[in-house]
Amino acid sequence: MGMIRKKKLRADILRLNPREDACQIARLIVCDGFLWDFNRALEMALFRTFASPGISGLLARTGEFSRNGQKRYDDTSLLMLQLLRHGYDSPQGRAALQRINQTHAHFFISNDDYLFVLSTFMLDPIDWIARFGWRRLSEHEKMALFIFWRNVGERMGIKSIPDSLESMRRFSGEYVQENFRFHDSNRVVSTATFTVVESWLPRRLRPFVRPVSAVLLDESTRRAVQLEAPGRFMAFIVPAVLKMRGRWLAVFGRSGEPDWPDGCRTYPKGYMVETLAPASLLAVERKQRELPSESIWDPECNKV
């Protein structure tokens, strides 16, 4: 039954047009047993951005990851999953994009930094699935994911987005070569993020977080955040376990609607999109709501 469902879902994907149905294809890929893979790939994507001092410097100056690391992690994850789950032109997707744009408008971020972050959302899930997924993505699916994230980038006001996946990969490589270098802010933000991830685990497992991450991150990122290279055992066992998981899912895994997160550590009872923002921005918005002028938020508009 599981294999029949998998074949039907992939047939549904192939019937769709990547340019016109990018949102639906992206969602169906997640539904084809890849929610866990997308989450892990986007976690690694987020971490790779810390290797650029232009990005890590802003995050370190705001102190958001040091003071509110779990919330910033959850906010980013939930906003991205809102887009994948509902599409960028749905009411929920528009609310998520509005929140993303309001957050970014609160800070100065260069267009190249925006583009690099966008490139990680495009490329890292494709690369993760090629390495560890239970099946490879087709060119049809890769194109749909590229178009999905390109359309998200356009709605964020990002300029000069490359017109193909190959062009975006070239831009990403050039950005890494020009911008990835060690800076104290890289270490501050990456250490704060490791502390968040370690807090999820029993005490005995926490020492494995950094060695496992070192295996999954590329050498350029490791050097830029001064993360020790993995030992031979970890370099062998981590990919082996992940590939074994993929083979198991190829036989026994099921496709269909995943358990989309409606809550998380920061919001165990659920959340509203307008709460997914840095504490400093939320404080500004609270003050604005206290003024006699019209509030900038209608809380009923963005409920999840």
The phi and psi torsions of 269 (rounded to 5 degrees) equal -100, 15
DSSP symbol at 58: H
What ranges do the domains of the chain cover? 2-258
In angstroms, the CA 82 to CA 97 distance is 9
Residue 16 reports pLDDT greater than 50: yes
Question: With pLDDT > 90 as the criterion, what percentage of the chain qualifies?
Answer: 73
**pLDDT tens string 211-270:** 999 999 999 999 999 999 999 999 999 999 999 999 999 999 888 889 998 878 889 888
Nearest partner of 261 among 200, 302, 304, judged by Cα: 304
Mean pLDDT of the chain: 91
pLDDT band at 279 (very low <50, low <70, confident <90, very high): confident
Each as own residue / partner, the long-range contacts of residues 18-24 (CB below 8 Å, 24 or more positions apart, any chain) are 18/140, 18/141, 18/143, 18/144, 18/147, 19/147, 21/144, 22/144, 22/145, 22/147, 22/148, 22/151, 23/87, 23/88, 23/89, 23/90, 23/93, 23/148, 24/87
**pLDDT tens string 37-89:** 999 999 999 999 999 999 999 999 888 788 888 998 899 999 999 999 999 99
Question: With pLDDT > 70 as the criterion, what percentage of the chain qualifies?
Answer: 95
- The pLDDT assigned to 223 comes to 96
Dihedral sign for Cα atoms in the order 55, 57, 62, 68: positive
Confidence (pTM): 0.90
In angstroms, the CA 169 to CA 207 distance is 33
Distance, first Cα to last Cα, the chain? 32
Mean local confidence (pLDDT), 159-176? 97
| H or E element in which residue 110 lies | none
**pLDDT tens string 134-164:** 999 999 999 999 999 999 999 999 999 999 9
In angstroms, the CA 112 to CA 25 distance is 27
Residue 300 reports pLDDT greater than 60: no
